[in-house]
Amino acid sequence: MYHTKKIGVFVSHIFGFYQQSVCQGIIDKSLEYGYTAEFFTTMDGENLGSYGAGEKSILRIPNYEELDGIIIASETYLSKELKSQVISALEAKCTCPILEIAFKDPHFPAISIENNSTVGELTEHLILEHGYKRICYLGCTQEPFFSAQRERYFCDALKKHGLKISSHDVYACPYESDAVAGALEFFEKKGKPDAVVCYNDKMALYFMRAALSSGYQVPEDIAITGCDDTPDGRNATPMLTTVTFPCYELGANAFEELLQMIQGKSVPAMTTVHARPVIANSCGCKSHPEINPVFFAHTLTRRIEKLEESVFHSMRMSAASQRISDIDDGVELLEKYVHTIEHCKEFYLCLYSDWDSVSHHILEITEAADGIPAKNPDTILLKLAMKNGKRLPECSFKKSSLLPEYLYKDSNCAYIYTPLFFEDKEFGYIALAYENNRIGYHFRLVHWFMDINQMLQGICETQRIDLLVKRLETIYMRDALTGLYNKHGYLHSEEALLTRAKNESVPLTCFIFDLDGLKQINDNFGHSEGDFALQVMGHALENAIGKNDICARFSGDEFYLLTCGYSREDAEELIANIEKYLDNYNRLSTKKYNISVSGGFASAVPDANFYTENIQELFSKADSNMYGTKKKKHILF
């Protein structure tokens, strides 16, 4: 059964090695204590420009009151603004304990890895175990804070053992082959160094390549150490001496620390998880047998193949999603690609009820506000649900739960929630769970989710454009005063009705109606009242005609009606119904004038030689008949 005890974890860039390791430690340790973890993730800092403004919608997803505790990995947020928004929201909305994974300036009780001082331990190892006299430090300009920390411990170790640091013993550069080669040249100005302590494994491997390219042997000529124990360093030849990066341990300890807070126990303001030296071969020790590079080469080849495969998947999905204009078609497309997410056990596309809402501005100018029903903001639509490879029915559920309750039954999954948005437009979120709760979140999902966001935005844009096009068509085809067809609208529909009359050999009947006494209404009561009378006349016509009839006002007080299949009795009944509508209106109206109409009609059964010009002749006859009616009423104007 799904655990009722929950913690929330806020983390960015979950596809990174550090983030995944920390999160895995949290998952495993929380399950051990009967808790489940919900991860609220963002991908800030990917230079998305204004598109990334919607990242803050991650704060809309959690049900804060259901969480027993929260962990925020604040160091993972590259955007200071987003980090500040998350912290402010947690301070304002949460009453539960909050633990921060941070190395400096935490807002809450914090836990952190300390793997800077271990550089000093490695430096002492080079001095005491190998007797190296000239040891240099290679820092990184792209991560200056941590680089400076490690440089300080390096220098302290040298000073502790009475070794001097010359002006050519410390250098910093970016992650670039040429720049690191320049570092070697810089050190060589004082002669060949005995050993080089590098900021991290990545920088150490760059330097190893530069040294080997210059004819040096590692570690025989120059010993090299790194710091953070990466797979690349472990598979290098010689294997890299380095420092552990206990991310998994950090996550596990973070949960245990949070559990202490949940139980009401006090915790230190800062707890530290310490790294340890990893003594391998690049320092001159023979601690490990060298690994045959063919195994790692195979791993890298497979990694490249998967990357290429994911790029092509993303390209195909992006191309296909460009043609999507309906959400149901979009969901059918997504279902095909969900199966490509490795080890994904559950996948849910959850949309807010207003995800495809149109701005008030568009609704106003398209006059569509009354035609769109209000949506319940507390309702979420589960549009696509995939569990264990099978698609489940879509449904709606209340926002009080992040997923429908039936999905939680017999589940111990840790769910990863990622917001769906386009700029400041919030669509909803994706929920993911992996087999055996082993996080396999790959960077390709960043592209994948962006494709989904763009598809959803495209559907919204299509709806917006459809409203605008319909409004333009209305302006072009409809009379602004009465809402009936104007001349453009009438001409657009005339041919179809004529064709129908020919095919069915039924009468085509033309009517003309003229509002009686419009000039007197305008002169005596004003043109606004004249317009009102025309509108009432338009309503009377709409009330009387059939759905296939074409009713139009070209201008002035004359109305045109083209019908198909009317007998003479039908035509006379239609006129009688219009007059009856106006009589009823006049009895109920408080206006100081009555509204009446005079009408006439003419009919013909069109043959093959009957064209639109002949329709005009019928209208002329109807016009004459209408004036005959006026004369009988003694109405001349």
CATH number for position 141: 3.40.50.2300
Written as six digits, the tokens of 568 are: 């003479």
179 and 303 inside one domain = no
How far are the Cα atoms of 349, 508, 571, 572, 622 from residue 565, in angstroms, in the given order?
52, 6, 10, 13, 17
Residue 301 pLDDT grade (very low, low, confident, very high; cuts 50, 70, 90): confident
Does the structure show a pLDDT above 80 at 300?
no
Q: Quick check: 280 and 242 in contact, CB under 8 A?
A: yes
Q: What is the pLDDT of residue 400?
A: 86
Walk across the sheet containing 558-564 and list its strands.
Answer: 550-553, 558-564, 508-515, 597-604
Task: Please indicate, yes or no, whether residues 444 and 342 belong to a single structural domain of this protein.
Answer: yes
Regarding whether 321 and 447 lie in a shared domain, the answer is yes
Residue spans of beta strands (DSSP E) within 323-378 = 344-352
Decide if 248 contacts 229 (C-beta within 8 A). Answer: no
Q: Taking all residues of the chain, what is their mean pLDDT, rounded to a whole number? A: 90
79 and 127 both lie in a single domain? no
pLDDT tier, 474 (very low <50, low <70, confident <90, very high otherwise): confident
**pLDDT score at 637:** 45
534-558 pLDDT, tens digit per residue, is 999 999 999 999 989 999 998 889 9
**Is 422's pLDDT higher than 70?**
yes
3-state secondary structure of 78: coil
The answer to whether position 43 is within a domain reads yes
| CA angle centred on 629, ends 623 and 634, rounded to 5° | 125
- 317 touches 452 (CB < 8 A): no
Measured CA to CA, the distance from residue 47 to residue 446 in angstroms comes to 13
- Full domain range(s) for residue 217: 118-227
pLDDT of residue 362: 66
Judge if 433 and 582 occupy the same domain.
Answer: no
| pLDDT for 47 | 53
Residues 410 and 424 in one domain: yes
Angle between helices 177-188 and 201-213 (to 10 degrees): 70
Beta strands per DSSP E along 580-636: 597-604
DSSP class of 457? H
8 A C-beta contact, residue 216 and residue 185:
no
Please determine, for residue 635, whether its predicted confidence score (pLDDT) is greater than 60.
Answer: no
- Residue 148, in any domain of the structure: yes
256 is a domain residue:
no
CA–CA separation, 416 and 447 (whole Å): 17
**How much is the pTM?**
0.78
Helix ranges, 382-509 (H): 405-408, 444-477, 487-504
Q: What CATH number has the domain bearing residue 510?
A: 3.30.70.270
Do 26 and 145 have their domain in common? Answer: no
Q: How far apart are the first and last CA of the chain?
A: 83
Check whether 486 has a pLDDT greater than 50.
yes
Which range is least confidently modeled, 100-104, 200-204, 312-316, 499-503? 312-316
Domain end residue (candidates: 173, 207, 227): 227
The amino acid that residue 486 corresponds to is N
86 and 165 belong to one structural domain: no
Residue 561's H or E segment, with its range, is strand 558-564
Tens-place pLDDT, residues 23-38: 999 999 999 999 999 9
d(CA 20, CA 96): 24
Number of domains in the chain: 3
* Residue 240 counted as domain residue: no
Rounded to the nearest 10 degrees, how much is the dihedral formed by the CA atoms of 106, 108, 112, 116? 20
Highest mean predicted confidence (pLDDT) among 42-56, 241-255, 408-422, 443-457: 241-255
Would you place residue 376 in the very low, low, confident or very high pLDDT band (cuts 50, 70, 90)?
Answer: confident
pLDDT value at position 1?
45
Residues near 510 by beta carbon (within 8 Å), at least 6 away in sequence: 560, 561, 562, 601, 602, 603, 615, 618, 619, 621, 622
pLDDT recorded at residue 251: 97
Q: Do residues 94 and 128 both lie within one domain?
A: no
Residue 1 belongs to some domain of the structure:
no
Residue 471 lies in a domain: no
pLDDT at 294: 65
Which of 227, 253, 278 lies at the terminal end of a domain, its last residue? 227
Parallel, antiparallel or unpaired: strands 110-114 and 98-101: parallel
Nearest to 556 by CA among 483, 479, 615, 635: 479
Is there a domain that residue 482 lies in? no
Give residue 412's pLDDT band: very low, low, confident or very high (50, 70, 90). Answer: confident
- What is the tens place of the pLDDT at every residue in 141-150? 999 999 999 9
Whether the predicted pLDDT of 372 surpasses 60: no
Across residues 68-77, what is the average pLDDT?
A: 96
CA atoms within 13 A on the CB side of 632: 10
Which band of pLDDT confidence, cut at 50, 70 and 90, is reported for residue 84?
Answer: very high
The helix/strand/coil state of 239 is coil
In a domain, 273, yes or no: no
- 520 with 455, same domain: the answer is no
Domain boundary residue, one of 201, 227, 253: 227
pLDDT tens, position by position, 588-623: 999 999 999 999 999 999 999 999 899 999 999 999
Burial 589-620 (b: 16+ CB within 10 A, else e): eeeeeebbbbbbbbbbebeeebeeeebeebbe
Kindly report, residue by residue over 496-534, the tens digit of the pLDDT: 999 999 999 999 999 999 999 999 999 999 999 999 999
* Radius of gyration of the chain from its Cα atoms, rounded to whole angstroms: 39
Q: Are residues 515 and 538 in the same domain?
A: yes
Shared-domain flag, residues 398 and 327: yes
Tracing tokens 């952190």 back to the chain, one arrives at 112
The mean pLDDT of 393-413, rounded to a whole number, is: 90
Mean per-residue pLDDT, 408-433: 91
How far, in whole angstroms, is CA 22 from its chain's centroid? 25
